[in-house]
Each structure stands twice: as C-alpha cells, then as structure tokens.
Amino acid sequence: MAYQNLLIDHSDGIATITINRPKSLNALSTATVAELNLAVEGVDGDREVKALILTGAGYKAFVAGADISEMTRMGTPAALTFSELGHRLCDALEALPIPTIAAVNGFALGGGCELAMACDLVYASENAQFGQPEVNLAVIPGFGGTSRLARRVGPHKARELIFTGDRIDAKTAAALGLALAVLPSDGLMAHCRAVAQKIAAKGPLAVSQAKKVIAAGSDLPLQAANALERQAFAALFGSLDQKEGMAAFLEKRPAHFQGR
C-alpha cells in the first residue's frame, strides 16, 4: 500500500512508522490519521512483526498536534468524526498484541502527545517538548488526552497541563513518568531499535500477555487484576515456547521461540 503521509519500514522483526509531513511539523491531518489506522491494522495482521516504533520525520517534531489548518474549517459533526478516528487509532495501538514504542524526536503536542501516550514505551530526544495546548485554540484534547494524561501523570498534574496548555521539556516529561528516558537526538532511534530488538528476542506470547494483563489490570482492583494475571500465567504453560524457554535455560543454550 502506498502512503502519502507515512514512511513504513520493516526490518529484523521491527516495524517503524514515520509520520512524514515535516513542513507542517508532522501535524495530523484526517488523511494522516486514516493512513495511520491502516498502517496499524497492517502491523496487527503480520506475525513477523515483534515490535512497532512510531516516530516523526526530521529532527524538529514527533507530531505538533492535529492539523490546525484543517480543523479551522470543522463544525461539530466533522470534529466528532475526526475525534472518533483519532480515538480508534489510539485504541488500536493499545490493542496491538506487540509492544509499541514512541520515539519522540521533538514536539509532541496535542494529538502528538496523545499518540505518544497510546504507545507502551515513550523515549524522548533532548529537544523534545510535550504538551496539550488545545485550550490555546479554545478546544480540549480530542484523541484521548484527558484520560490518558491523567492516567500517566495523575489527575492533578494533568489538570495543570491541560488547563494552562504549558509545554514541558524532555527532562520534566521523564521526571513525571511521561517519558522513560531522554536521549541525544542522533541516538534516539538507535536506542528505540535496541529496546525493540531486545523485546523481539523474548517469548512473543509472554510479551503479548504481559501487555494485555498490565493494560487490563491497571483499571481493575488488585484482586481482579491478579486473577487476570493468574489465568494468563497458567495459559502460557500450555505453549511450546514455555517448554522451549525453560528447556533452553536448563540446557544452557539460547532459546528459539516460535510464538506457539
């Protein structure tokens, strides 16, 4: 499939989606969000892909938000459709059975911050800036920012960031837990690929179950979350990979996982 606004790369079991609209700082137009939905669907159906990296083209921006030149023409029905498209994308990223990594290489504002927060792991370059500046435009986050930011940094800090529209730098984002680490700009992708490769070498069913249980469990009381964990833990003992992983340990050799 030929994309107008994305670059897609598959290598060594890792898919990389690069949002490629550098002239508008990779702003999310409707067409870009629609293409992202298709690209994520494509990754979902590909058993060879063990991890997904999402980034923006160039060194200045991950995504500087939803495309303001397009939003300026929207009324309520079009805004609802746009917001649904964005929610579908963020939900699809969270539902992928593989880990997703946001390589935040510059501005991650508005829809860009929301997209990063829909990924499992977020790494930032030194020049990255995060924020939900929608109130500057007299709107609110529309791709899940009100809920995901509150879950990531707590409702108190989320209120401050969303009410003021303030941008925070990479170090502050890391201190808040919004980013896991801050990397030099020219080392960000190598770091993200190294993390993706490390994960890709593990038992894929186990990684997938861990993602699912952490996501579902974080919205449940502890006992219910532990019940989910028990079921997933036990189910993995029915997999070939579990036999292989434990046999390889005892035989002091590398494991060869098949995802079965």
Using CB under 6 A as the binding rule, whether residue 142 contacts ligand DAK is answered as yes
Nearest distance from residue 78's CB to ligand DAK, in Å?
8
For the CB of residue 101, give the shortest distance to ligand DAK in the complex, in Å: 21
Which one of 48, 114, 126, 251 is the catalytic residue?
114
Residue 108's beta-bridge partner residues?
63, 130
Give the count of beta carbons closer than 10 Å to the beta carbon of residue 6. Answer: 19
Number of residues that bind ligand DAK (CB under 6 A): 25
Active-site residue 48, yes or no?
Answer: no
- Encoded one letter per residue, x for contact with ligand DAK by CB under 6 A and - for no contact, window 15-54 reads ---------xx-x---------------------------
Whole-angstrom Cα distance, residue 18 to residue 103? 10
Give the active site residue among 41, 70, 134, 244.
Answer: 134
Residue 111 as a binder of ligand DAK (CB under 6 A): the answer is yes
Quick one: three-class SS letters along 76-118? HHHHHHHHHHHHHHHHHHHHCCCCEEEEECCEEECHHHHHHHC
CB 42 to ligand DAK: min, Å: 23
What is the nearest approach in angstroms of ligand DAK to the Cβ of residue 129?
A: 8
Asked if 94 is an active-site residue, the reply is: no
CB 42 within 8 A of CB 1: yes
Q: Which span sits near ligand DAK by CB under 6 A: 51-59, 102-110, 152-160, 224-232?
A: 102-110
Work out how close the CB of 111 gets to ligand DAK at its nearest, in angstroms, rounded to a whole number.
4
Residues marked active site are found at: 114, 134
Binding site for ligand DAK (CB under 6 A): 24-25, 27, 64-69, 79, 82-83, 86, 107, 109-111, 133-134, 136-137, 139, 141-143
